[in-house]
């Protein structure tokens, strides 16, 4: 079953703190794990992505940690800022037998950074 | 370079009415997708297309039809709208096979069915 479970549903963090969002998956055929960021009234946009053969990827204040054996991955936002307030979606990419591909998304985390 | 555009931005329909949502992309992407976004449900794939003239069902295809007559356009149709189809609809595109995980999203269409 192509499913990605995301937690928490909502998160409040103080400015300067670390925001952590977690995701778990079952399908070992997933081949990439991206995170998307969505601001109110906008479409989601790719934030950062990781391959399953890499344990960590960092881009600025954003880090993905990947645990292949546990089938879990997480997004860490260091020094969280009010401008980071948004909804974050984890996802996993898949290929069907017919050569198609797509993304399965988690249900999202509404992050609020308090000044 | 406009990226992915969606028409219309907002629409209110009565139950039983039909409508078509238009998605256009100017990035020469092969793959295009239609999602719906509902509170607490994330993004769910309705239909997708791997190239001009081809379409396939996603996770929640019932009540929707799609067409991809031109590479740059992907149309989503509702033949007989139901209140359960009240949602925000997003179109996305991606270039494959190089960037399977990177999808570019449009700004969305907010649809209300009364």
Task: Among B39, B43, B56, pick the best mutation site for testing chain A contact (most A Cβ within 10 A).
Answer: B43
User: What residues in A contact B40, CB-CB < 8 Å?
Assistant: 9, 107-108
**Closest CB to B50 among A45, A99, A103:** A99
Task: Please name the residues in contact with A98: beta carbons below 8 A apart, sequence gap of 6 or more.
Answer: B50, B56
With a cut of 70, list the residues of chain B below it in pLDDT: 96-100
Task: Among A6, A102, A104, pick the best mutation site for testing chain B contact (most B Cβ within 10 A).
Answer: A102
Q: Is B97 exposed, middle or buried (0-12, 13-18, 19+ CB in 10 A)?
A: exposed
Task: Please name the residues in contact with B39: beta carbons below 8 A apart, sequence gap of 6 or more.
Answer: none
d(CA A33, nearest CA chain B) in Å: 7
Give the span between the Cα atoms of B68 and B22, in whole angstroms: 10
Model confidence pLDDT, tens digit, residues A33-49: 999 999 999 999 999 99
Secondary structure class of B99 (helix, strand, coil): coil
CA distances from B9 to A89, B1, B18 (A): 22, 19, 16
Mean pLDDT of A51-58: 93
User: What residues in B contact A102, CB-CB < 8 Å?
Assistant: 31, 33, 45, 48, 58
- In this predicted structure, the answer to whether residue A100 has a pLDDT above a threshold of 70 is no
Please give the mean pLDDT across all residues of chain A. Answer: 92
The verdict on whether omega for the bond into residue B97 sits within 30 degrees of 0, i.e. cis, is yes
Mean pLDDT of A12-29: 95
DSSP label at residue B101 = T
Please indicate whether, in this complex, the C-beta atoms of B48 and A49 are within 8 angstroms of each other.
no
pLDDT of residue B96: 67
Please indicate whether, in this complex, the C-beta atoms of A46 and B102 are within 8 angstroms of each other.
yes
User: What residues in B contact A108, CB-CB < 8 Å?
Assistant: 40, 42
CA neighbours closer than 13 Å in the CB half-sphere of residue A111: 31
DSSP label at residue A55 = S
Give the span between the Cα atoms of A14 and B39, in whole angstroms: 25
């Amino acid at each position: 079953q192509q499913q990605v479970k995301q937690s928490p549903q909502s998160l409040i963090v103080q400015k300067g703190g670390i925001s952590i969002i977690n995701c778990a998956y079952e399908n070992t055929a997933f081949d990439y794990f991206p995170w998307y960021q969505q601001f109110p009234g906008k479409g989601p946009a790719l934030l950062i992505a990781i391959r399953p053969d890499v344990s960590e990827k960092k881009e600025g204040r954003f880090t993905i940690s990947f645990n292949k054996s546990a089938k879990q991955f997480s997004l860490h936002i260091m020094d969280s800022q009010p401008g980071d307030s948004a909804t974050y979606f984890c996802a996993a990419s898949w290929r069907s037998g017919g050569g198609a591909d797509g993304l399965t998304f988690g249900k999202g985390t509404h992050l609020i950074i308090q000044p | 370079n406009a990226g992915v555009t969606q028409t219309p931005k907002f629409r209110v329909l009565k139950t039983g009415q039909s409508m078509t949502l238009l998605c256009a992309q100017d990035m020469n992407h092969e793959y295009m997708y239609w999602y719906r976004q509902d509170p607490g449900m994330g993004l769910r794939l309705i239909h997708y297309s791997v190239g001009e003239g081809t379409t396939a069902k996603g996770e929640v295809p019932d009540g929707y039809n799609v067409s991809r007559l031109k590479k740059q356009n992907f149309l989503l149709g509702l033949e007989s709208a139901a209140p359960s189809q009240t949602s925000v609809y997003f179109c996305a595109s991606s270039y494959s096979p190089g960037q399977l995980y990177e999808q570019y999203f449009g700004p969305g269409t907010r649809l209300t069915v009364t």
